[in-house]
Amino acid sequence: MPLGMLNLFIEFETNQNSQMKKTVLLFASFLIIAAAWADEGMWLPMLLKNNFEQMQKLGLKLTVKQLYDVNHSSLKDAIVWFNGGCTSEIISGQGLLLTNHHCGYEAIAKHSTTADNILDNGFWAKSLDEEKVNTNMWASVLVRMEDVSDRVNKALDSIDVKNRDAEKLKLFKAIGMEAVMNTHYEASVKSFFRDNAYYLFVFEKFTDIRLVATPPQSIGKFGGETDNWMWPRHTADFSMFRIYADKDNNPAPYSKENVPYKPKKFLNISIKGVNEGDYTMIYGFPGRTNRYESSFGIKSAVEKINPAIVALREVRLTEWKKEMDKNDSVRLLLSSNYAKISNYWKYYIGQTEQLKRLKVYEERKDQEQQFIEWAKNKPEYASIIPNLEKAYINYNVYALHAAYIKEGILGSSLISAAIKYFSLEEALSLEKPDAADIKKTADALKTLGEEFYKSFNAVSEENILAEITQMYNENIALGQQPEYMTMLLKKYKGKTNKETFEKFSKDVFKKSFMVSKELSQQFLEKPDLRKLRKDPAFVYAKAFYTNYMEKIKPNIDAFEDINSSEGSKYMKALMEMQPAKKFYPDANSTLRLTYGNVKAYSPKDGVDYKYYTTLTGTMEKENPKNPSFRVPDKLKELYANKDFGMYAGKNGEMHTDFISNNDITGGNSGSPVLNGNGDLIGVAFDGNWEAMSGDIYFDSKYKRTISCDIRYILFLIDKFGGAQNIINEMTIIKN
């Protein structure tokens, strides 16, 4: 993670700033809603009473209090925010967690060596003592959420627009600290409906998380990139961890003395099976949606941002794959990094394709024209669309640059590492350097290096640096580039651009101490300002950082201010314009519930997809020559003998995955799929290709959530992994 002042440089996101007065009355008016489509919307659990009647009609058997209750145990106590990017669920009274294989992938890969390759061979702890300790992993359980809209709005009403962001952050921090005073909890305040409402979330965060089980990646990632985002699927995308706590059941750092966590609530598991039309609800922490994006934002994404992200990520994926294919050791070291960026590389391809197919830009333009007509006699709203259009015209001049910095320049692992040395340069360059501060900063860099160099492959990174620098030079306007680029082109002359940048990159990797763990550790033992400032990787990083901060970021910031302010007013105005429409808040990594039904679909003429797949399909896809479609011998043996135990379907088949029309997005990975009784029937892990527009536009016809059938997961734990001890922990509801 970047430090303090580098956050805006590295994480380019649009902040949604409040620029107007809000009222609790308005907030209440747009929260008293029910779904326009049963499957659309990610609902705040505290407000589910507004959807309850619709949920009952679809098949819910529980009460509102059983879904969410602050004072008594409820389903929300079994839903866990997993490591900041995924969801997991507690499935036993001993803190056993179930999530996706790709959510646990980094931990699994770190525990894998050529001597003990659990990534390829799988792992099944047969006792607590065998469970594997993880560092830098956490799991948080929501304690409560609280509406703080009135307090925030009143405090911000008198704040000048220019100071609003800073004051808002101070206020959020104050509210959070007040909420957890004299407790071990953590808290944060989040914005909803584009700064028209605010909620406080209080969590209990655990950091002693241990790996319990994982199938081999030939099962957990079956189909690889070929099947990613596709239906039909036959993937068992799951892994298992356990929360540990101290003797008083409170969060504590890792210790041998810690014991399995005793949760307020854990999920029962149903193996009764899944049928078309069955009620499904998914509880989890969806990351981010932008369902109220303007036509201008959609056009920018489709024409500029998405294609750039795809092209830049493809460079890393291609170069890493070349080295990964050469030997198993490199493959294991790079596999986690590869998996991190490959998923959304394909996603951006699909999102662009589906936004075009659905003509979302055209639809939003029509909606905005209707809004203009409605607002022309309302001075407070009449300028919103013109202001947004003007802001995007200015932003589009710099939008590509921002993408190239984040996905290109910082896509180079070497340059990303070099940026972390900025804090050391600052400490060394003080008029009176503080030796203790320098040592502390250097030691922190040593610690980061211990982890960084484990997955640093110099051969692929040298090629990546050459290619992304060449792409930057060819695609970013000359007037926006740092002077460094002119000097580079003058110094390194090749017959072709490719040769020029290959020469440059080779020189950087030959001369920089940052390309080697040993050399970097030697430097950090005796940090030297002059040597640091002469290092070619550092010089490169500093040049691009300074250029971005001085030439580009002010323009991006100006756009963000206008986009957030006008976007907030637009959200408020839309709800006034369409009082009968059912609005719901965008996802923002807070606990949500979505509901719908198991449902098949027909994406195009002559194609009809069933709502489930079976192990037969796995065997049909098997291809020993393709790593993505290899099937372990033991699984083939179990299939041949039809040894499915109590997990087989009514017709004797082993069901693998199923689809439902629930509304999910990134962050829902690992979320529990529950039936009307609140029992676990599957684990969500993907969306479908035909509805890749989902973060911006919900396609009510084609949107599907792909989930692994819980029966397949239990079958693999029991029959394939032989971990009956894990099965015995769970409460299983049988036929």
- Mean pLDDT per block of 10 residues along the chain (735 residues) reads 32 36 38 46 88 93 95 96 97 98 95 94 98 95 96 88 84 97 97 95 98 98 94 98 98 97 98 97 96 96 95 96 90 85 89 94 97 96 97 96 96 96 96 93 94 93 97 96 95 90 97 96 96 97 97 95 94 93 90 97 95 98 95 98 96 97 96 98 96 92 96 98 98 91
Whether residue 129 lies in the annotated active site: no
How many other C-beta atoms are found inside a 10 Å radius of the C-beta of residue 382?
16
> 292: which 2 tokens?
């109220």
Structure confidence at residue 39 (pLDDT):
65
One-letter amino acid for residue 35 of the chain: A
Cis link prior to 232 (omega < 30° from 0)? Answer: yes
Tracing tokens 């006008």 back to the chain, one arrives at 566
Distance CA 136, CA 80 (A): 16
Distance CA 128, CA 208 (A): 13
Whether residue 633 lies in the annotated active site: no
> 306: which 2 tokens?
């998405």
> Which SS3 state, helix, strand or coil, does residue 43 take?
strand
CA distance readout (Å), 275 to 241, 272, 612, 730:
29, 10, 9, 23
> Which SS3 state, helix, strand or coil, does residue 406 take?
helix
Distance CA 143, CA 135 (A): 24
> Which SS3 state, helix, strand or coil, does residue 533 take?
helix
The answer to whether the CB of 496 falls within 8 A of the CB of 503 is: no
The answer to whether the CB of 123 falls within 8 A of the CB of 108 is: yes
* Residues facing 260 on adjacent strands: 244
Distance CA 704, CA 232 (A): 11
> Which SS3 state, helix, strand or coil, does residue 658 take?
strand
Instruction: Say what the alpha-carbon torsion angle 191, 356, 385, 289 is, to the nearest 10 degrees.
Output: 0
Distance CA 574, CA 567 (A): 10
Residues 669, 671, 693, 707: which is the catalytic one?
A: 669
Tracing tokens 């028209």 back to the chain, one arrives at 196
Distance CA 269, CA 710 (A): 8
Cis link prior to 536 (omega < 30° from 0)? Answer: no
Residues 237, 657, 695, 699: which is the catalytic one?
A: 237
Distance CA 488, CA 482 (A): 10
Residues 92, 101, 102, 561: which is the catalytic one?
A: 102
* Residues facing 595 on adjacent strands: 281
Structure confidence at residue 165 (pLDDT):
84
Whether residue 234 lies in the annotated active site: no
* Residues facing 732 on adjacent strands: 269
Structure confidence at residue 51 (pLDDT):
87
